[in-house]
Amino acid sequence: MHLTDGTRRRFLSVAASVIAAPLVATAASRGGYELRVLLGENGDTTQQILKAITVRFPHARIADAVAVQDDRKGTAVYLTLGAAALQSALSAGLSAPILALFTSNEAFTRVVANLRPDQRVQGISAVFAEASPLHQLRLVRALYKRRVGIAALLSAGTAHLQSLIEEAARANDLDLHLRLVDPGENVVRALLSQRDAQALLMVPDRNLYTAESLRTVLESAYRRTLGVIGFSPALVRAGVLAAAYSTIDDVLSQVGAAADALAQGHTPSPQYSTYWRVLINERVANSLDVVVSDSDRALGNLPN
């Protein structure tokens, strides 16, 4: 990815509006190492993320994934923003530690699984963009206030989440109806086969949920009075019943500890954000006869 002069100017403008500290620092700016930020797409969301990073880590440095210099001395940790930035970092032959941010579990797993044997990275971890299925199913239990059946559709790209979702269902005393959808299989037909479910758990999966399929899935779900639990505020606006999600600041709250560990040669397991919150579509809840309480609206774990 090549950063144009315009992109650099926009980033510097955002940084300057937040702090007066210099953007480029010495390698000793954080515990003896430097944080370097690699961009993917440069839209409004990326600019919001960069602004938040600059507030939390004033000496973070923006870098170009194509022109990046291999850091064999271990003096830098790279933060990649989105799956495209992660792919660019790996394609550039970067061997320094990488912390992938604002990438879904599905996308991170896919990109890392495609690493070639010659692509050696000192350490790679992630803080996923979405809330954990454990938090999503806690929201299901809170909204329905009883043991209900929850449908979950997974593709080959998310099949590795099966045990996590099964554990989350047990923890929240829910009946799980999980279906692995074959390539090319119609997602709505797969959903209709889950006859004993009262709600549908959605996880980010580009093989199942696309801009084209989402409307059809929602229409099918609500014809069967299935409440759909999503993973972003955008899905709530699109018509799902509710979502558990993490904000930009929620995700960034874990970056410091994870980056410190990577810089010290320890690779933390990829993780969901500890902090999360919920958004509920009150209109959809009313249509499904789901009674929403103030405690439901306040569900989550917010930073102090």
Q: What is the DSSP string of 53-65?
A: HHHH-TT-EEE-T
Query: Sign of the C-alpha dihedral, residues 130, 227, 152, 218?
Result: negative
Q: CA 123, CA 111: separation in Å to the nearest integer?
A: 14
pTM of the model: 0.86
For residue 73, count CB atoms less than 10 angstroms from its CB and return exposed for 0-12, middle for 13-18, buried for 19 or more.
Answer: exposed
Q: Produce one character per residue of 8-41: b if its CB has 16 or more CB atoms within 10 Å, e if not.
A: eebbeebbeeeeeeebebeeebbeebbbbbbbbe
Tokens representing 123 are: 């350490």
Report the Cα 190 to chain-centroid distance in Å: 25
For residue 95, count CB atoms less than 10 angstroms from its CB and return exposed for 0-12, middle for 13-18, buried for 19 or more.
Answer: middle
CATH 1.10.10 corresponds to the domain 5-129+248-263: no
Phi, psi of 153 (to 5 degrees): -110, 130
DSSP type of residue 30: B
Q: In the chain, which residues fall in CATH 3.40.50.2300? A: 133-245+276-301
Tokens 């970092």 map to which residue? 89
Give residue-wise pLDDT tens across range 126-166: 999 999 999 999 999 999 999 999 999 999 999 999 999 99
Q: CA 212, CA 183: separation in Å to the nearest integer?
A: 17
Please state which architecture CATH assigns to domain 133-245+276-301.
3-Layer(aba) Sandwich (3.40)
Q: Helix or strand or coil: residue 19?
A: coil
- At residue 160, what is the residue type? H
- 304 residues of the chain, pLDDT tens digit each: 343 444 334 433 333 333 222 223 333 356 688 999 998 877 889 999 999 999 999 999 987 655 555 554 558 899 999 999 999 888 887 778 999 999 999 999 999 998 877 666 779 999 999 999 999 999 999 999 999 999 999 999 999 999 999 999 999 999 999 999 999 999 999 998 998 999 999 999 999 998 889 999 999 999 999 999 999 999 999 999 999 999 999 999 999 999 999 999 999 999 999 999 999 999 999 999 999 999 999 999 998 7
Residues 126/79, Cβ–Cβ less than 8 Å: no
